[in-house]
Amino acid sequence: MQTRTLGTDLTVSAVGLGCMGFSHAYGAPTAEDEAVRLIRRAFDLGYTFFDTAEVYGTADAPHVNEALVGKALADVKNHVVIATKFGLRFDRESGKVPLPLVPDSSPETIRRSIEGSLMRLGVDHIDLYFQHRIDPAVDPEEVAGVMADLIKEGKITHWGISEANEDYLRRANAVCPVTAVQNRYSMMARHYESLFPVLEELGIGLVAFSPMANGFLTGQYGKGQHFDAATDYRAAMPQFTDEAVDQNAALLKLLSNIAEEKHATPAQISLAWMLCKRPWIVPIPGTRKEQRMKENAGAAQVRLTPGEVRALDDALDHMEMSAVFGGTPVSV
């Protein structure tokens, strides 16, 4: 697979693998042996960028996703980039489903988190350490100061911020240069495009999560879809309702038509659209199927001209769409 550079010097595969779904949010967790096999298989297919977090787990095993990634990549850990995250914990007392998230980026919590992640991943440093969500109780300068210390100590080599805004990003970057932001970005969620000029100015990459609107843009979901509300966040996502299928018909038709022209799939077009928009965008679609891994990796070979990207943007600007899932609420 082709590679891209995040920040000044972090080389990753053009498409990364979001590993969350193996153990969190997309139905019952995948059996450990199968999850390990699939993550390792992704490396064989050309993926060198793997994304996880300390909170991607279950009530019984809250940190299991990091452990899966560490086990799967143990023999190739020096040939991959692993991103993980700190700064969120689940509110298990509320009784709400999905579990609300509580931000906590205090220096003491970060210190505990990095040691736990290093242990579970089986590595001596983290390649890209993301603040999972902004903590309004902690200034960006303080978080960035801890990151600078962790870099000096050799515990991390690069850091980033997820769901970053311009003010927070600039303030943090002034203390310790930021390599990437990880923000929700897809054809159905484009609000972070306003941040692009800032990323260009500061030389910061964008790791795009939910790049296919939680799978909706694959075109594989229709009316009457059922998801288990106890384990699958899609049960509450507005883009998967029967009404939304009708509202998004024009979008899916557009993807299908372009896919036919390019001898690709709708999923590949939805990824190629952002890959061809900026050289510093790296999508990290998640999947639990080997065939989808191959398909997603193939998106890096699909070429859209600047004119075709602009035409797509214009069509998206004037197209009816349903609401799209914006993330699990963070309690502050």
Task: Judge whether 188 and 212 are in contact, CB under 8 Å.
Answer: no
CA dihedral 82, 83, 87, 93 (to 10 degrees): -70
Amino acid at 99: L
Catalytic residue positions, numbered = 56
Concatenated DSSP letters of 76-134: GGGGSEEEEEESEEE--SS--SSPPEEE---HHHHHHHHHHHHHHHT-SSBSEEEE-S-
Distance CA 257, CA 247 (A): 17
CA–CA distances in Å: residue 104 to residues 87, 134, 294: 5, 8, 37
Residue 27 Cα to chain centre, angstroms: 18
Alpha-carbon distance of 117 to 129, in angstroms, equals 10
Please check whether residue 131 is in contact with residue 162, taking contact to mean a CB–CB distance below 8 angstroms.
yes
Pinpoint the alpha helices (H) of the chain.
Answer: 32-44, 64-72, 107-121, 140-152, 166-175, 196-202, 242-247, 249-262, 266-275, 290-298, 306-317
Interatomic CA distance for residues 331 and 319, integer angstroms: 33
